Structure 1
Amino acid sequence: MSVLRASALALGVCLALAASAATATASMAKIDTRAQFLDALSGKSLRIGIYGLSLDVQPGGKIVGRAVGRPVTGDWAWQDGYFCRTIFWGEREIPYNCQRVDYDGDTMRFTSDRGAGRSADFNLR
C-alpha cells in the first residue's frame, strides 16, 4: 500500500471515530435536577462490566456496590445542578467531587470537576 493511500485510510478512520464520539456526546442530555437524576436511575444500577463495577445510588443519599472485588460505599447529594459524592473503594477514599451528569436512556456519563474533568460512562441495568 502506498504511503499516500495508508495516510488517507488512517485519516478516514480518525474522522469516523471523531464523528462517532461526537454523535454519542450529542445524543446525551445534561441532567439538571435531583428529580431527573433519580427518575433516570429508578430501579437500576450503574455498571461498568470490564471492572466488575456495579453501584446502587440510593435516593436517601447512600452509594453501595462493588468494583474489582472490593466493596464500594459512599454518600451523595445533588448540589447546584451537579452530582456531588464521596466514595470509598475498600479502604481507599476517593476524594469528594461534584460531577456533571449526562444521559441518553441507556448510558449515564459522569464528568468530574463540574464537567471540566475526566468522564466515565456507566450502563444502566
Structure 2
Amino acid sequence: MTSNDDKDWRQITTKEAFVRNFVDKVLVGDGMEFTIHSDGRMSGLINGEVLTGSWYWSGKFFCRTAMWRGEDLGLDCETIEARRSQMRYTRDKGRGEALVVEIKQP
C-alpha cells in the first residue's frame, strides 16, 4: 500500500459513525465472512469455522469478545478506519495487527 492510499482512510471515533458504516452488513476478507449485528452480537465464519461473539463501543474503540473453533479469543478493543466500502481494524487499541475487510456487495 502506498502512503497516498493510506491518506484515504478516516478513523471512526463514534459508535454512531461505526453503526452507520458497518453494522448489520456482511464483511468479507482473508477467509472471513462475518456480521456485526445491531443487537450487540457478532456472527460468521473464519476459514469455514464458526465465529460468535459480542461487541460494544468504548470511547473511540470497537471492543469485542469472540469464540472461534471453540477457543475464547478474549476481549480486544480496536481502532476502526473506513475507506469507501472497506473497514480496517487494528487490534490492541491501534498497536496490534491491522486487517482489512470489505462490505460484501449483493
TM-score by length of 1: 0.78
* Corresponding pairs, count: 104
Deviation at 1:63, TM superposition (A): 0.1
Residue 53 of structure 2: SS of its match in structure 1?
A: strand
Which residue in 2 is equivalent to 1:36?
A: 17
Residue in 1 aligned with 2:98? 119
From the superposition, tell whether residues 61 and 43 of structure 1 become closer, same or farther in structure 2 (CA, over 3 Å): closer
Secondary structure (helix, strand or coil) at the match of 2:13 reads coil
Highest Rg: 1 or 2? Answer: 1
Of all paired residues, the percent bearing the same amino acid is 23
> Larger relative contact order (C-alpha < 8 A, sep ≥ 6)?
2
Question: 1:21 Cα deviation (Å)?
Answer: 2.9
Q: Residue 9 of structure 2 contacts residue 82 of structure 2 at CA under 8 Å; is this kept in 1?
A: yes
The answer to whether the aligner puts 1:81 opposite 2:38 as a matched pair is: no
- How far apart, CA to CA, are the structure 1 residues paired with 2:9 and 2:24? 20
How many Å separate the matches in 2 of 1:46 and 1:116? 22
- The structure that is helix-richer by fraction is 1
- Structure 2 counterpart of 1:58, which letter? H
Equivalent of 1:98 in 46, 63, 77: 77
**After TM superposition, what 4+ stretches of structure 1 lie above 2 angstroms from structure 2?**
none
The aligned amino acid for 1:37 is F
**Which structure 1 segments of 5+ residues have no match?**
1-19
User: Greater strand percent: which structure?
Assistant: 2
TM-score (norm 2): 0.91
CA RMSD, Structure 1 to Structure 2 (Å): 1.2
